[in-house]
Each structure stands twice: as C-alpha cells, then as structure tokens.
Amino acid sequence: MSEPIVTAFFDETTFTITYLVVDLETSRAVIIDPVLDYDHRGGSLSTRSAQAVLDAAAEQGAKIDYILETHVHADHLSSAPFLKAQTGAKIVIGSSIDKIQKTFAPVFRADDLSMTGGEFDILATDGQVLQFGGQEIRVIHMPGHTPACVAYHIGSHVFVGDTLFMPDYGTARCDFPGGDAAALYRSIQKIFALPPETKLWMCHDYKAAGRDHYAWESDVATQRAHNIHIHDGVSEAEFVAMRQTRDKSLAPPVLLLPSVQVNMRAGYFPPADQAGKRFLLIPVSGTIPN
C-alpha cells in the first residue's frame, strides 16, 4: 500500500489546519477538520477556505469520501455541510459526541438536537477502521481535551486534533466541560506508543514564542523527546498539575460560543425562525443590570 499524499491548508484567522489526504492510486480522498470562514464582528459567512480544499482535490482528480472531524471544535466553525453538499461525502466524528450534545444542548436551548449524534453520518468508535481507496483510517479515541476527541491514523500519518501541539507549544487545554488532564495524558501515550517515525499532524498552531513561522508537522520521536509539556519522563501527576495550573490562566477561545453550538450539529446552524433567518445564541453570565 502506497502512502497517501497530505496537503495542509492553514487558516491564520483561527490558527487551524485543514487537511486533504489523497490516495493517488485510486484518486479517493478525505478532508479533515475543515474551516468555515466566519466574521464574528458582522456575522457573515464564506466558504472560501473550503472551496480552496475542493479546488486542490479537483486538481488531483480526487473524489472526497469522508469529512473527518477530530472533535467538536471551540475555535472555528466547521464547513462540513458545505463540503458534503458539494461531494456527497459522509461526515464522521467520534461516537462520544452524545456527551457533548447532552452537555451543551441546555446551554444553547438546542431542542432540535438528537442527543445521539444523529446529525453526523458516522459515529466512529475506538479501533474502528474506515477505508477510502486503498487507504485505511484507524480511529483512536483520545479523550482529555473533550470526552469525544478522536485521532485518525492513515498510513504512517496521525491527525491528532486538539491533543498535541508542536513540541515548543505543548498540549491542549482540558478545562472545557468533560475535559480531563489525566485522560489526556493517557490518550497521548497511545500516540507515543506508535513507531517513532510516525508523522503527526496538528489541528492548530499558535507560533510559540521564539518561532517566527507557523508549523504543523511533527513525529512521535520528536514529541517524545522535546514536547515542553509531556516528553518522556514526565509523570501523569506532573502533567496533570501543570495542565490544571496552566488552564486557569487561559481565556476562553474567541469563537467558543458560536463554534460549539454549530459544530455539535455537524456544522449545521440552528433552525431558522418563521422569517427564515438563522441566529446564534450567546448566553451571558455575571451581574446583569436591570
């Protein structure tokens, strides 16, 4: 089996990397963690970034079989519905998505939600194998950042979602509802147990201090040796203490509230009102003046 071809698309607005993975022998492909262009200030949407991925696939003569979401993102909106409409591809997410829906449906008054992940086409379980062309996609359940995170292992490549960042930036936060630093530590050990040359592809990069360029490709050996949070020799207790302390200092992602209520619906927006308009709900907290 030949190795797939990986093309990365970096969205600097949300610091997100979308991937197009193509099996050249059969011209079948998957898209991982696609971004919908969303202007939070004006509420306007664009599919420019998603179209760029489709254009790249077309240049390679590739047909998209799956749209793979590593988790319910809290920092960008997914363009999966647009891509599905254009390609007929199935939208995939980890089977624990129901935990996310049950947690956040009351927050956003999302009475339309199935609470079972029914908005997605495939709810992938740990160890499940999907296939596109001659390539196998092995699903790895990676709880910690959220309880529903997964990574996708394709050939010698693993798309890690929000678990690991580049070695000089560390690991993902664990302070969202259902997050668990100890679970994240154990999830990352699954990645570290893979062959050292296994290529690891990040979902985000924030250009760590001292680095003047964005980066998103690493490997198991480099992460085990140099990740500033979880290199070899760091115990679970040490990692949990670090992660809990660090998470207390982090502000919520700018697009947290819009992203979660859309992405837990597989990228679909809340139902339209009687006038046909769609709205995002922004809950407020704290002392509210009368």
Query: What does the mean pLDDT of the chain come to?
Result: 97
pTM over 0.85: yes
188 and 247 Cβ atoms separated by less than 8 Å:
no
- Residue 207 pLDDT level (bands cut at 50, 70, 90): very high
Q: What is the pLDDT of residue 289?
A: 79
Q: What is the pLDDT of residue 63?
A: 98
Q: What is the pLDDT of residue 171?
A: 98
Residue 1: pLDDT above 80? no
Condensed to tens digits (0 to 9), the pLDDT of residues 175-198 reads: 999 999 999 999 999 999 999 999
Q: What is the pLDDT of residue 261?
A: 97
Percent of the chain's residues with pLDDT above 70: 99
Alpha-carbon dihedral of residues 53, 54, 57, 58, nearest 10 degrees?
-140
Q: Taking Cα atoms as reference points, which of 274, 167, 273, 181 lies closest to residue 229?
A: 167
Q: What is the pLDDT of residue 203?
A: 98
Nearest-angstrom CA–CA distance, 120 and 176: 22
Tokens of 112: 């339309």
Percent of the chain's residues with pLDDT above 90: 97
Nearest-angstrom CA–CA distance, 68 and 252: 25
Domains detected in the chain: 5-263 (3.60.15.10)
DSSP 55-112: HHHHHTTPEEEEEE-SS--SSSEE-HHHHHHHH-PEEEEETTHHHHHHHHHHHHT-TT
Condensed to tens digits (0 to 9), the pLDDT of residues 81-124 reads: 999 999 999 999 999 999 999 999 999 999 999 999 999 999 99
Condensed to tens digits (0 to 9), the pLDDT of residues 129-158 reads: 999 999 999 999 999 999 999 999 999 999
What is the Cα 187 distance to its own chain's centre? 15
38 and 11 Cβ atoms separated by less than 8 Å:
no
Residue found under tokens 């086409």: 121
- Residue 285 pLDDT level (bands cut at 50, 70, 90): confident
Residue 77: pLDDT above 90? yes
- Residue 256 pLDDT level (bands cut at 50, 70, 90): very high
